[in-house]
């Protein structure tokens, strides 16, 4: 009944099933942002269908969706190259292979949350190499990444403003990040948001 709807948040709605989700997305083709946090109905197959119907999507949230894997990121890279914001935090089956498809297909990404996924050094290196031009926010909490690769990401992403590293075993000092990223606006005084536990 609302084919012109542009923003939809049905995260944590327990009775949304795969069929209703598929039917809904076949009608809401003008969606710009969609939040499906925690839905059991979200799988690689439903996302693939969704993305083919909703080609204008710029923001997607799949946080804590157990059915989301690397195949979902492959579909995002294939069907939504203009996406600006993606949250797959808590999707344990997302690994560097999915991040590779995302980095190669969606080079305009501005905000990315990979917290508590299987993302590692290879995925972060790919983001630094292919998405550095636009990335402003990246969340990597509880991911296994070396200090070297974190600093490489900071060095390459000149627009970086927000970096979350909660639960990461190797965390650079603020001065180290400032040394590798001297861009005047990003990571500048009062605009930096590096969040990690203090030692």
Please report whether residue 4 resides in a domain: no
* Secondary structure (DSSP) of 145-181: --HHHHHHHHHH-TT--EEE-TT-S----HHHHHHH-
Please report whether residue 111 resides in a domain: yes
pLDDT in tens, 149-165: 999 999 999 999 999 99
Please report whether residue 59 resides in a domain: yes
Confidence of residue 199 (pLDDT cuts 50, 70, 90): very low
Q: How many CB atoms lie within 10 A of CB 147?
A: 14
Please report whether residue 84 resides in a domain: yes
Please report whether residue 93 resides in a domain: yes
d(CA 38, CA 61): 9
| Summary mean pLDDT of the chain | 91
Q: How far is CA 151 from CA 59, 132, 160, 163, 188, in A?
A: 27, 13, 12, 11, 16
CA nearest to 169, candidates 120, 99, 108, 132:
120
Residue 186 has pLDDT above 60, yes or no: no
CA nearest to 113, candidates 129, 79, 136:
136
Total tally of structural domains belonging to the chain: 1
Which is more confidently placed, 185 or 152?
Answer: 152
Q: How far is CA 60 from CA 63, 111, 114, in A?
A: 9, 10, 13
Please report whether residue 148 resides in a domain: yes
pLDDT of residue 197: 53
Q: How many CB atoms lie within 10 A of CB 193?
A: 11
pLDDT of residue 14: 86
Please report whether residue 137 resides in a domain: yes
Task: Give the residue numbers spanning the domain of 114.
Answer: 9-195
d(CA 43, CA 62): 10
pLDDT of residue 1: 85
Dig out the tokens for 61 from the structure.
């949230």
Please report whether residue 22 resides in a domain: yes
Whichever domain contains 108, its CATH number is 3.80.10.10
pLDDT in tens, 46-96: 999 999 999 999 999 999 999 999 999 999 999 999 999 999 999 999 999
Claim: this prediction has a pTM higher than 0.95: no
């Amino acid at each position: 009944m609302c084919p012109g709807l542009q923003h939809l948040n049905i995260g944590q709605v327990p009775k949304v099933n795969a069929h209703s989700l598929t039917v809904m997305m076949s009608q809401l083709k003008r969606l710009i942002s969609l939040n499906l946090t925690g839905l059991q109905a979200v799988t690689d197959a439903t996302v693939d269908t969704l993305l083919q119907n909703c080609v204008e999507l710029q923001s997607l949230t799949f946080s804590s969706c157990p059915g989301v894997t690397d195949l979902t990121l492959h579909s995002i890279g294939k069907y939504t190259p203009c996406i600006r914001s993606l949250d797959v935090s808590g999707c344990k089956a997302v690994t560097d292979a999915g991040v590779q498809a995302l980095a190669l297909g969606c080079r305009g990404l501005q905000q990315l949350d990979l917290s508590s996924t299987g993302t590692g050094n290879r995925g972060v290196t790919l983001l630094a190499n292919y998405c550095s031009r636009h990335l402003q926010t990246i969340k990597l909490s509880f991911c296994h990444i070396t200090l070297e690769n974190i600093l490489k990401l900071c060095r390459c992403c000149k627009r970086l403003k927000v970096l979350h590293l909660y639960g990461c075993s190797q965390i650079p000092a603020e001065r180290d990040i400032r040394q590798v990223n001297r861009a005047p606006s990003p990571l500048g005084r009062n605009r930096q948001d590096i969040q990690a536990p203090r030692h």
